[in-house]
Amino acid sequence: MLIVAGCNRGQNIADIPTPASIEALGTANALTAVAPPEGFRDSVSFPEVDANLQKLIGGRYLVTLEFTGVFTSTPRTTNAKATAEVWFNQAGGARRVVVDINGELLGKTDNNFEAVRLGTDSFMVLNKECLNAGPDTVTAAGLRAGTLVGGVKKAIPAGEKATLNGQEAYKYNFTSADLNLPSIKLSDGGTVEATGGELWVAPSVNAVVRFYVNLNVTNAVIFDRTLPVDGQVIVRYDLYDVGQITNIAIPNGC
């Protein structure tokens, strides 16, 4: 016997729910199962990855930027890597910044320095020489990840949770248009495209604990270098030792 199920009397076709797809249900269930807490469920905004760190008593973060490619419109290859590790102690008003540069970033080749701020005093060791005065010393000691690599203007939950760097964190997705990249400026016709990346946020401290993005760039100026470049850029940021106080002292040599 063939049974045909029809509408109940008075019911319209439009009233009958459309079956949900297996893929959509899977995504919805994943997001619900690991939904971030209130205030972090719809989206987050961290245009500077180190936002809100001033509210932590202490911690440390590591920033890396790498480039591999060529100078625009030339066959000449170039590559560079810059790392900045920062320790901060809010209670003592102290910061320690260690920067290591290899290649042609920041307009220089193979450069490194250590800078320390203790209250209102700043010190820097550059090329084994101690500097304890001047605007360059103050700038170096105040170097921040947000001004170096920027962050993400808007990101939405990805349905993943993990313990990263000792913090319960939630993963967020973003697009190229969502990025804030102060270190990359485009010349005429230049482009920047994110080919992969992640943003992980710890709601308990309202801070980014991990951010990375891989970029393809054309006709781009990185860190105000003289010539534009084409190639691949990798940006990475990790926050460690959240809430821990590190003893920060005047650098050796000063």
pLDDT in tens, 153-193: 999 999 999 999 999 999 999 999 999 999 999 988 999 99
For 165: left if phi > 0, alpha if psi spans -120 to 50, otherwise beta; the answer is left
Measured CA to CA, the distance from residue 176 to residue 154 in angstroms comes to: 10
182: nearest Cα among 219, 155, 144: 144
In a domain, 18, yes or no: no
In a domain, 76, yes or no: yes
Total-model pTM = 0.83
Give exposure, 70-100, as e/b (b: 16+ Cβ within 10 Å). ebbeeeeebbbebbbbbbbbeeeebbbbbbe
Mean pLDDT of the chain: 86
Q: Considering only residues 167 and 14, tell me which one the structure prediction assigns the higher pLDDT.
A: 167
Quick one: pLDDT band at residue 22, thresholds 50, 70, 90?
Answer: very low
In a domain, 116, yes or no: yes
Q: Which two tokens stand for residue 199?
A: 């943003």
Host domain of residue 222: 44-240
Measured CA to CA, the distance from residue 242 to residue 164 in angstroms comes to: 11
Range list of β-strands (E), the chain: 44-46, 58-71, 77-89, 94-103, 111-118, 121-126, 129-131, 151-164, 167-173, 179-180, 184-202, 207-222, 229-240
In a domain, 136, yes or no: yes
CB 229 within 8 A of CB 202: no
In a domain, 29, yes or no: no
In a domain, 62, yes or no: yes
* Average pLDDT for 202-211: 97
In a domain, 70, yes or no: yes
Burial class (CB in 10 A: 0-12, 13-18, 19+), 240: middle
Quick one: pLDDT band at residue 27, thresholds 50, 70, 90?
Answer: very low
Q: Considering only residues 225 and 96, tell me which one the structure prediction assigns the higher pLDDT.
A: 96
Determine the pLDDT at residue 110.
61
Quick one: pLDDT band at residue 125, thresholds 50, 70, 90?
Answer: very high
In whole angstroms, how far apart are CA 102 and each of 47, 63, 68, 97, 233? Answer: 27, 14, 12, 17, 15
Concatenate the DSSP letters of all residues of 136-193 into one string.
HHHHHHT--HHHHH-EEEEEEEEEEEEEETTEEEEEEE--GGGEE-TTEEEEEEEEEE
Measured CA to CA, the distance from residue 52 to residue 55 in angstroms comes to: 6
Taking only the tens place, the pLDDT of each residue in 44-101 is 999 999 999 999 999 999 999 999 999 998 889 988 899 999 999 987 789 999 999 8
CATH of the domain at 128: 2.50.20
In total, how many domains does the chain have?
1
In whole angstroms, how far apart are CA 231 and each of 76, 103, 180, 190, 242? Answer: 12, 15, 19, 12, 34
Q: Considering only residues 110 and 231, tell me which one the structure prediction assigns the higher pLDDT.
A: 231
